């Protein structure tokens, strides 16, 4: 089975052997951080950016230096090799747990964090690039003042609840707003829109997680002389756009065909341009 071996607690083991204790703070309280990374034919995309964000999350949550254990890049390469994922597209997930809990309330930390890395094959679905995805508007808010804003925490319930509500309403995902009504992001992806040839995306002050793919898209737009503005905007600006798309490591660049019933022609010309250039960028990894 492809993806059968994982890296856990300093060694390669089978999935069945990778066991997180029931008193780990990740299990009890969602105390931990994670990263999701695309690998193209054995080469992780911008692994250094993901590791920096993981380290920042560890510092924020006061986790120990489990992420520093060993050579992470070499470990990921070995994991892709032993799972026979060097010739296909794959998804690498890194999770740093909160460590064992203790004390009369169970809130104290007694043990070190654990580092878990998995790698599995990933089948990209190009039909989404043709038909687009549909977004609802979530009633759950992204709070820029939250200490979890800007880190990829395993405490993910707000996103899960928002996405499930969107699916229950017949959409694929949801736009999340700040308490002040400004566009932040989708439940697990960054959002962009195009109006009059100008590319817009919410500023990090809107409580979003600044994605690695988001960063790459902004760089590509700059190189293609597409003006890109980081903004604090209400939902009206998004609904008035000519094109909308979302980005993350798994979907790369996915056009949006509707937001709360407002439809968009997909894929739009700027979305196509950026998608093609992004494809060129990731193809250079395996050559």
DSSP-assigned letter for residue 182: B
CATH 3.30.470.10 fits 5-121, yes or no: yes
What is the domain partition of the chain in residue ranges?
A: 5-121, 127-286
User: pTM to 2 decimals?
Assistant: 0.93
Per-residue confidence in pLDDT tens, the chain, 287 aa: 455 899 998 899 999 999 999 999 999 999 999 999 999 999 999 999 999 999 999 999 998 765 664 578 899 999 999 999 999 999 999 999 998 888 777 677 877 899 999 999 998 765 556 789 999 999 999 999 999 998 999 999 999 999 999 999 999 999 999 999 999 999 999 999 999 999 999 999 999 999 999 999 999 999 999 999 999 999 999 999 999 999 999 999 999 999 999 999 999 999 999 999 999 999 887 65
Q: pLDDT value at position 64?
A: 77
CA distances for 250 relative to 38, 143, 238, angstroms: 7, 25, 23
Secondary element (H or E) of residue 101 = strand 101-102
Q: Is the dihedral of CA 202, 216, 221, 259 positive or negative?
A: negative
Q: pLDDT value at position 2?
A: 56
Task: Enter the CATH code of domain 127-286.
Answer: 3.20.10.10
Q: pLDDT value at position 123?
A: 81
83 with 2: CB under 8 angstroms? yes
CA distances for 100 relative to 32, 109, 145, 197, angstroms: 12, 6, 28, 52
């Amino acid at each position: 089975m492809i993806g059968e071996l994982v890296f856990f607690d300093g060694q390669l083991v089978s999935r069945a052997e990778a066991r997180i204790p029931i008193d780990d703070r990740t299990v009890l309280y969602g105390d931990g951080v994670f990263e999701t990374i695309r690998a193209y034919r054995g080469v992780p995309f911008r692994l250094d950016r993901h590791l920096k964000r993981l380290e920042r999350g560890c510092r924020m949550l006061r986790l120990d230096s489990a992420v520093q254990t060993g050579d992470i890049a070499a470990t990921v390469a070995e994991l892709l090799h032993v799972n026979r994922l060097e010739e296909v597209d794959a998804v690498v997930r890194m999770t740093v747990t909160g460590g064992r809990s203790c004390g009369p309330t169970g809130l104290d930390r007694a043990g070190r964090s654990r580092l878990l890395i998995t790698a599995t094959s990933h089948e990209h679905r190009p039909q989404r690039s043709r038909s687009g995805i549909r977004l609802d508007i979530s009633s759950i808010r992204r709070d820029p003042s939250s200490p979890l804003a800007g880190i990829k925490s395993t405490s993910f319930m707000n996103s899960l609840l928002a996405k499930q509500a969107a699916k229950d309403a017949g959409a694929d995902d949801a736009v999340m707003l700040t308490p002040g009504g400004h566009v932040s992001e989708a439940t697990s992806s960054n959002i962009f829109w195009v109006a009059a040839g100008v590319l817009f995306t919410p500023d990090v002050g809107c409580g979003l997680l600044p994605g690695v793919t988001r960063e790459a898209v902004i760089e590509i737009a700059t190189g293609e002389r597409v003006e890109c503005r980081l903004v604090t905007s209400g939902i009206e600006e998004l609904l008035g756009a000519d094109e909308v798309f979302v980005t993350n490591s798994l979907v790369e660049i996915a056009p949006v065909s509707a937001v709360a019933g407002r439809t968009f022609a997909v894929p739009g010309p700027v979305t196509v341009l950026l998608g093609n250039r992004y494809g060129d960028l990731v193809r250079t990894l395996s050559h």
